[in-house]
Structure 1
Amino acid sequence: MTMVMIINIILFLICCILITLSFIISKKSFMDREKASPFECGFDPKSSARLPFSLQFFLIAVIFLIFDVEITLLIPLILTIKISNLMNYFSVASFFLLILLIGLYHEWNQGALTWAI
């Protein structure tokens, strides 16, 4: 027998032993309805999964994600100020910030930023 064959047989035996032990250990655990149900951040797992979701919370989360991604697009502008032409840099930066401000103004006018109680 070669050394590779011996190692493969040993690994196979270890895997078999571990699988057998996992079945033996899992049989001892007591599974009731509460333990078998998934835990979902404080939601009752036995109630309906079709509960109404706050649309206002969803809109705020989407707006946060959009502006968060756009903030990460501003970082290369900061890093390229040393190597770029100053006039081109300010025109690109002001255009990008203008787009951000117009988007923020639009969301404000649509009422997406007002939290209804």
Structure 2
Amino acid sequence: MNLDQYLPVLLFIIVGMAVGIGPLVLGYVLGPNRPDDAKNSPYECGFEAFDDARGKFDVRYYLVAILFILFDLEIAFLLPWAVALQDVGLAGFIAVLIFLAVLVVGFVYEWKKGALDWE
């Protein structure tokens, strides 16, 4: 077994590690680190910054994220169907109507439960 055959694989791994880790190290070494009140102020999270990273979050953040993923996946399934609408015919159209009906039922359920209220 000739180890010279593995040299390209070793070089690929080394270059990949350098490309992945190199910018992180350069940013850490060369980047400024001057925290102030503006950088530590609330940003998109809705509450003051605090020391403990394991503090309790409001469950609404997770619920909104899950609902976003749900409806984002709906679009991911609808786009290929829209492109192939001529090929799938009436059966494909009816299947998508059933799919949308199930999603609308879930959306109405979430709406009635108050999951979309942000107060």
**Sequence identity, in percent?**
30
Question: 2:96 is matched by which residue type in structure 1?
Answer: A
1:101 pairs with 93, 101, 104, which one? 104
Indicate whether 1:112 and 2:101 are aligned: no
Moved runs in structure 1, 4+ residues, more than 4 A? none
User: How far apart are the structure 2 equivalents of 1:90 and 1:48?
Assistant: 51
Aligned residues: 76
- Aligned position for 1:68: 72
- Aligned position for 2:11: none
User: How far apart are the structure 2 equivalents of 1:58 and 1:84?
Assistant: 36
TM-score where L is the length of structure 1: 0.56
The structure whose RCO (Cα within 8 Å, separation 6+) is larger is 1
- Matches for 1:1-117 after TM superposition, within 5 Å: 42=40, 43-44=49-50, 47-85=51-89, 87-116=90-119
Q: CA deviation at 1:64?
A: 0.5
User: How far apart are the structure 2 equivalents of 1:92 and 1:110?
Assistant: 27
Runs of at least 5 residues in structure 1 that lack an aligned partner in the other structure:
5-28, 30-34, 36-40
Q: CA deviation at 1:55?
A: 1.0
Q: What's the Cα RMSD here?
A: 2.3
TM-score where L is the length of structure 2: 0.55
Per-residue CA deviation, residues 14-34 of structure 1 (Å, 9 max, x unaligned), is xxxxxxxxxxxxxxx8xxxxx
Question: Could you say which structure has the larger radius of gyration?
Answer: 1
